[in-house]
A = this chain, B = another copy of it.
Amino acid sequence: MKRRHLFGAAAALLASLSLAGCNDEKKVESSAEPKAAASEAPKTYNWKMVTAWPKNYPGLGTAAQRLADRVNAMSDGRLTIKVYAGGELVPALEVFDAVSRGTAELGHGAAYYWKGKVPTAQFFTSVPFGLSTSEMNAWLTRGGGQAFWDEAYAPYGVKPMVVGNTGMQMGGWFNKEINSLQDLKGLKIRTPGLGGEVLTRLGATTVNMPGGEVFTALQTGAIDATDWVSPYNDLAFGLHKAAKYYYYPGWQEPQAVLEMLINQKALDSLPDDLRAILTEAAGAASRDMVDDYVYNNAMALDQLKQQGAQLKRFPDEVLAAMREQSDVVLGELAQQSELNGRIWASMKAFQEQVTPMHEISEKELYNWR
């Protein structure tokens, strides 16, 4: 049964009665606020979601669309969300601004894309050598992380929610081998967020650009290397056709939160049930995206190997230097504001607390199977 149709039927009936000139108008007015009922119902919210992803991009873009579809189904069409690819309505890296000023009610992207505007945002995508996917989620929902995130975005009238996680990423695609720290010097590499800053300290030149531009930049030699995501997305962009070596581990992004941005005023305008629907859809889409990456990364890694991608591990010496510089960069970021200091202290404490449990559980599993 479609409720909105029923509702529409009731409204149509009221209208027809009115047009028919029912004689008993007084009676009508004394009943339960019929005019308000007829004019307010069924209130429909038609929202826009701007994203940082290419059209229908696997994993990232499809998760945004899935969320929109499910909200539509759960609300029986009372809350519809039209999803826009990066560049359709606003450029990929201007999603945050668009939601902040109300051009769109919703956005989907990654917090570190807006680091120029909100440096604090960098904590909320990924921290090098930091929390894993399940740990990051637990810190956000149970360890106080969400409250910090809300605090960071509140001045811009934006409410963030997790919608997805790519899981642990890869180190990236390189057109030259990295055999020592020396090989990083002068390297032109696309790596956003804190990982990019670490590479800068190690002598590389880092740039940020949306995913849609990465392949061409790598193929033309405008950059020597790039991180992107993991096999699923990297195969979709054909990055193995633009670079020879595929490095691991993804030290710079042990997990990566994707965020839904919500214009706070728009959120406040929703009735309670639609707010609950939007919130739960975010939770369900988050789980679904992780499933998507776990499954498709496994399949895509196979294909990349078959198509000639050469898997390489960063040397221990390089990883050690990366970790050392990560601590420096994070320490400096923590110094930039009182809020940053509180966030970093909380994350570090949680990582220390949660590590002993992983030592005796999943680490054992992966080492034993």
Contacts and interface: CB of A to CB of B under 8 A. Distances in A.
Interface of A: 1-3, 6-14, 16-17, 20-24, 27-28, 31-34, 36-38, 40-43, 70, 73-76, 129, 132-135, 137-143, 167-170, 230-231, 248-251, 254, 271-273, 276-277, 279-288, 290-292, 294-299, 301-302, 311, 313, 319, 323, 350-351, 353-369
Nearest to A311: B360
A121 to B, nearest CB: 21
A9 to B, nearest CB: 4
5 contacts: A16-B31, A22-B23, A132-B362, A137-B294, A142-B292
Nearest to A77: B273
B249 A40 contact: no
B353 A298 contact: yes
Contact of A369 (B27, B43, B129, B280): B129
How many copies of the polypeptide does the oligomer hold?
Answer: 2
Contacts of A70: 276, 280
A283 B288 contact: yes
B7 A10 contact: yes
A142 B1 contact: no
Q: Interface centre among A38, A277, A288, by most B CB within 10 Å? A: A277
Contact of A271 (B2, B286, B288, B299): B2
A207 B74 CA distance: 43
Contacts of A285: 283
Given A1-B271, A281-B280, A283-B287, A134 B137 contact: no
A17 B10 contact: no
Given A37-B13, A231-B357, A363-B367, A273 B7 contact: no
B298 A354 contact: yes
B301 A168 contact: no
Contacts of A311: 360
A362 B367 CA distance: 11
A355 B366 CA distance: 8
Contacts of A279: 284
A10 B22 contact: no
A276 B353 CA distance: 37
B361 A363 contact: no
Contacts of A287: 137, 283-284, 286-287
Contact of A248 (B21, B292, B360, B366): B360
A163 to B, nearest CB: 11
Contact of A17 (B22, B282, B286): B22
Nearest to A302: B353
Contacts of A16: 27-28, 31-32
B284 A280 contact: yes
Nearest to A358: B366
Contacts of A27: 16-17, 20
Nearest to A254: B365
Given A13-B31, A248-B360, A273 B75 contact: yes
Given A16-B31, A138-B295, A142-B295, 6 more contacts: A8-B32, A230-B361, A279-B284, A297-B357, A302-B356, A362-B362
